[in-house]
């Protein structure tokens, strides 16, 4: 059920600055801020560790290599 909250004009201006696009809601902005503080899942932590290992082992392609392969 939607509800109304009271915020200061200063906070409203700050939330407005954080919008990624004009029609983004304040709720979306707040969820994005909350998401940034949440703990990463164990699966995400494993994926990040694997990606870091692959980079150390040189198992990646640079943007230049990809462009060349795709004839861009």
Q: Which residues contact 11 (CB under 8 A, 6 or more apart)?
A: none
User: What pLDDT is recorded for position 1?
Assistant: 83
pLDDT score of 32: 92
**Helix pair angle (26-37, 9-17), 10° resolution:** 80
Instruction: Give the pLDDT of residue 38.
Output: 87
Q: Cα(7)–Cα(46) distance, rounded to whole angstroms?
A: 39
Q: What is the 8-class DSSP label of residue 40?
A: P
What is the sign of the dihedral through the CA atoms of 23, 28, 29 and 32? negative
Q: What pLDDT does 17 receive? A: 96
> What is the chain's pLDDT, residue by residue, as a tens digit (72 residues)?
888 999 999 999 999 999 999 999 999 999 999 988 888 889 999 999 999 999 999 999 999 999 999 999
The reported pLDDT for the residue numbered 37 is 86
């Amino acid at each position: 059920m939607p509800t109304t909250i009271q915020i200061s004009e200063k906070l409203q201006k700050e939330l407005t600055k954080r919008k990624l696009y004009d029609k983004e809601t304040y709720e979306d902005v707040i969820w994005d801020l909350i998401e940034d503080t949440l703990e990463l899942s164990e699966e995400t932590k494993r994926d990040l560790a694997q990606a870091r290992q692959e980079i150390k082992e040189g198992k990646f392609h640079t943007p230049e290599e990809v462009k060349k392969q795709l004839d861009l």
